[in-house]
């Protein structure tokens, strides 16, 4: 599977003042696989130090001191492989498990910058054992974040690269996409599989929904296990409660704002604040805050308790609410699913696409009478309202109310309708969400 992050890694490799790179992301998003493939493709040699499987053997190398050349000699002895600065890419896998190895990145940056290092980290900031003699290499590392495959990468993986590339041209010119019906089916498949590489690979190889669902349940169990292992006994219970409540909160008929009362009667935010922070730090959720006012720069509403919570992966969300993929992916039966149910999955998909594209977003409400799903900011610092519809019924009181009140110069709607432009409104199909960065840069 080709990943967009590989282009960022290539830019890092060619940077004049390259520092060790931290490749961060939730577990199972493909960090190790991508870093390994990149190393084999772009460097004469690759040497991996895996702190998850070989911590006992590797720890003495770093505990004896943090001089970079001494560390390289120790790693060569442990791995049995030659390490040549300037030629070898050194991969520190799951570096958060070794505070000493993490701190050593600072010394590599200062004393041996020609040694290329990529350090992958999951649950970063959660599993680090804080020891007085070690410190985070602040300012001495480059950071790249990695997420599940977005829909464009899914199209690449499923053999539709030509259509994926062609869609950008039709979006740029605001012309209807000829393969519209096919693309709608593909994006619904993506919403059911999500973008976790193991799941996508299973779908590509077997096209078996039962296997996809089993993998998703296994991965969800893994994430829940991490909560028990790293969050602590009492915090783990509350964290699990938030995780289990998220699908219900997103698919309710009324506002999708996360309500603690729906989580547990009498619950208070201060009791669950750590749980939300843990899930965010682990990369398992994206909190989506209500805007104080729709003016750039966008700021969350005071208090920090007005937010929606989206899953890191729409496929996991679909599995949690027991969506039947065969129904969701069928052209006729999809339209018969409850709009609120479809809408929650569609919103999660869009948030996932925005996060993968590096686009910040908030949402806007008006006294419970109108709501805009996403507010974005374009290159001219104009706030752009983005509305999401899971079907082809695009009538919207909320967007009308927003326009009457704030007179935006442009707006965007994602739905199942084809590409088009109606005055200041850009109409895009849901499958074109990965094109939003270019749409924002286009200025119209």
Can you say whether the dihedral through the CA atoms of 92, 98, 101, 106 is positive or negative? positive
pLDDT band at 410 (very low <50, low <70, confident <90, very high): very high
Give residue 134's pLDDT: 59
In this structure, the answer to whether residues 130 and 169 fall within a common structural domain is no
Q: Decide which of 399 and 126 is more confident.
A: 399
Q: What is the mean pLDDT of residues 388-416?
A: 94
Among 114, 145, 176, the domain boundary falls at: 145
- On whether both 16 and 160 belong to a single domain, the answer is no
**Chain-wide mean pLDDT for the chain?**
93
CATH at 92:
3.40.50.300
Domain that holds residue 174: 151-442
What pLDDT score was predicted for residue 232?
76
Helix/strand/coil for 86:
coil
pLDDT band at 1 (very low <50, low <70, confident <90, very high): confident
Looking at the structure, tell me whether residues 125 and 269 fall in a common domain: no
Q: Name the nearest CA neighbour of 122 among 222, 237, 243.
A: 222
Positive or negative: CA dihedral 389, 380, 11, 27: negative
Whether residues 267 and 157 fall in one domain: yes
pLDDT (0 to 100) of residue 127 = 62
Instruction: Name the band, by pLDDT with cuts 50, 70 and 90, for residue 29.
Output: very high
The pLDDT value recorded for residue 78 is 96
pTM reported for the whole predicted model: 0.94
Give residue 402's pLDDT. 96
Give the pairing type, strands 116-121 and 88-93.
parallel
Judged by average pLDDT, the poorest of 8-22, 181-195, 241-255 is 241-255
Q: Which of 25-29, 146-150, 335-339 has the lowest mean pLDDT?
A: 335-339
* Inter-residue long-range contacts of 72-77, CB under 8 Å, 24+ positions, other chains counted: 72/112, 72/115, 75/47, 75/49, 76/47
Alpha carbons 147 and 145: distance in angstroms, whole number: 7
The answer to whether residues 121 and 207 belong to one domain is no
191 and 101, same structural domain?
no
Per-residue pLDDT reduced to its tens digit, 77-108: 999 999 999 999 999 999 999 999 999 999 99
Do residues 242 and 274 share a domain? yes
Is the domain of 79 the same as that of 177?
no
Task: Note the pLDDT of residue 308.
Answer: 96
Q: How many CA atoms lie within 13 A of 74 on its CB side?
A: 17
Residues 95 and 157 in one domain: no
Last residue of a domain, one of 117, 145, 173: 145
Our count of domains for the chain comes to 2
Read off the pLDDT of residues 107-147 as tens digits, 9 standing for 90 and up.
999 999 999 999 999 887 676 555 555 567 878 999 999 99
Q: Which of 41-50, 51-60, 252-261, 304-313 has the lowest mean pLDDT?
A: 252-261
Q: Which of 124, 145, 166 marks a domain boundary?
A: 145
Same domain, 71 and 175: no
Q: Kindly state whether residues 248 and 371 are assigned to the same domain.
A: yes
Same domain, 189 and 112: no
């Amino acid at each position: 599977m080709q990943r967009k992050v590989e282009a960022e890694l290539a830019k890092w490799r060619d940077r004049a003042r390259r520092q060790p790179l931290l490749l961060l992301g939730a577990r199972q998003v493909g960090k190790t696989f991508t870093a390994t493939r990149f190393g084999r493709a772009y460097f004469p040699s690759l040497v991996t130090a895996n702190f998850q499987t070989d911590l006992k053997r590797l720890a003495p190398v770093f505990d004896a001191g943090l001089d970079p050349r001494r560390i390289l000699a120790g790693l060569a002895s442990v791995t049995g492989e030659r390490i040549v600065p300037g030629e070898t890419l050194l991969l520190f896998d799951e570096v958060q498990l070794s505070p000493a190895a993490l701190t050593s990145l600072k010394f590599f940056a200062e004393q041996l910058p020609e040694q290329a290092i990529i350090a992958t980290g999951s649950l970063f900031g959660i599993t680090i054992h804080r020891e007085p003699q070690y410190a985070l290499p602040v300012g001495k590392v480059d950071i790249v974040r990695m997420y599940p495959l977005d829909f464009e990468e899914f199209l690449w993986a499923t053999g539709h690269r030509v259509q994926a590339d062609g869609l950008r041209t039709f979006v740029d010119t605001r012309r209807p996409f000829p393969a519209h019906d096919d693309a709608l089916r593909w994006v619904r498949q993506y919403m059911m599989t999500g973008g976790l590489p193991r799941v996508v690979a299973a779908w590509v190889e077997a096209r078996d929904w039962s296997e996809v669902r089993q993998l998703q349940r296994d991965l969800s169990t893994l994430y829940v296990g991490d909560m028990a292992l790293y969050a602590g006994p009492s915090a783990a219970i509350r964290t699990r409660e938030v995780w289990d409540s998220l699908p219900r909160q997103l698919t309710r008929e009324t506002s999708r704002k996360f309500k603690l009362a729906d989580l547990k009667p009498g619950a208070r935010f201060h009791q669950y604040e750590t749980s939300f922070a843990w899930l965010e730090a682990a990369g398992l959720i994206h909190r989506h805050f209500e805007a104080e006012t729709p003016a750039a720069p966008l700021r969350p509403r005071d208090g920090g308790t007005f937010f929606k919570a989206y899953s890191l992966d729409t496929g996991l969300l679909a599995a949690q609410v027991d969506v039947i993929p065969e129904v969701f992916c069928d052209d006729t039966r999809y339209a018969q699913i409850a709009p609120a149910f479809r809408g929650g999955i569609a919103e999660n998909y869009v948030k996932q696409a925005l996060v993968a594209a590096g686009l910040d977003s908030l949402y806007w409400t008006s006294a419970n009478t109108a709501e805009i799903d996403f507010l974005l900011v374009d290159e001219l610092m104009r706030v752009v309202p983005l509305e999401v519809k899971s079907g082809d019924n695009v009538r919207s009181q909320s967007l009308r109310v927003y326009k009457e009140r704030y007179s935006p110069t442009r707006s965007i709607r994602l739905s199942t309708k084809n590409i088009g432009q109606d005055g200041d409104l850009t109409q895009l199909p849901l499958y074109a969400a990965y094109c939003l960065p270019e749409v924002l840069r286009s200025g119209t």
